[in-house]
Amino acid sequence: MSYRSVFAAAGLVLASASWAGPVFAQQSTSAADGSALSPAQRAAVIGLIRQELVEDPSILRAAIGALQAQDQQSQAAVQGKAIAAAQADLVHNAADPSIGSPRAPITVVEFYDTRCPYCRVMRPEFSALVKQDPNVRVVFKDIPILGQNSVTEARALLAAQRQGGYEKMQAALMTQQAAPTEAHLRSLATQLGLNGDQLIRDMDDPAIGQRLAANTTLAQQLGITGTPGIIVGTQLVPGAISLDDLQKLVAAQAG
């Protein structure tokens, strides 16, 4: 809690405390007509506030809670506007890999890292979502934030996408713990029916690095600070959620 919030909370207490009424009722006409309190009057009010907070600390907790709720609502509103302004990049970027029907009217966007355990939890949930609801598609935006192995795997994913193998490579990488060495990725690509040598070459393409950088920049602009970051409509849901909760968010978008 910042100093600003604490002082603002104290102001809320002062403004709303009914027990301060008698003090003001006893003030001279100079206080009543809006001039500043005298030092003695100010001390009396502060003393009453301190006494009440000692006797009932829930007053300050409630005030601080109200301020935090206001801050969260304000942040969500700003974030919602940023998401709305970025819809073209979030929903209509043809370069982004996705699952589900391309013509689905509702799009869920996930910013994720292949090595993030919570993202791994979400992968089967997204697969189930699009299988159960043909009106939904899921767009994936890779943001490798957990180290060099994450960067390497993200590059491998986008290289696999060029061969139509993004989803297969994603499933393989997110269900194993092996370090993504060049030999391992070449072998894995071959097992998945992809050209391993071509995948390794494509991983070094600067265009792939640029796409990953663009994803990371967009995530920062939208206030996404961790993975997974799930966007439904103009709402950001930070962290993993259940399939049931996903379906509720989608249903709300469907109206």
What structural domains does the chain harbor? 3-78 (no CATH), 88-254 (3.40.30.10)
99 near 166, Cβ under 8 Å? no
Residue 173 has pLDDT above 80, yes or no: yes
Residues 6+ apart with CB under 8 A from 38: 31
Angle, in degrees to the nearest 10, between helices 243-254 and 117-132: 50
Beta bridge partners of 209: none
Cut 0.95: pTM above it: no
Long-range contacts of 177-180 (CB under 8 A, 24+ apart): 179/149, 180/149, 180/152, 180/153, 180/156
* pLDDT, tens digit, 9 for 90 and up, residues 93-145: 999 999 999 999 999 999 999 999 999 999 999 999 999 999 999 999 999 99
* pLDDT, tens digit, 9 for 90 and up, residues 202-248: 999 999 999 999 999 999 999 999 999 999 999 999 999 999 999 99
Q: How many CA atoms lie within 13 A of 233 on its CB side?
A: 13
Residue 77 has pLDDT above 80, yes or no: no
The amino acid sitting at 7 is: F
> For the chain, what percent of residues have pLDDT higher than 70?
84
> Could you tell me which of 135, 192, 66, 241 has the C-alpha nearest to residue 231?
241
* pLDDT, tens digit, 9 for 90 and up, residues 237-253: 999 999 999 999 999 99
> For the chain, what percent of residues have pLDDT higher than 90?
68
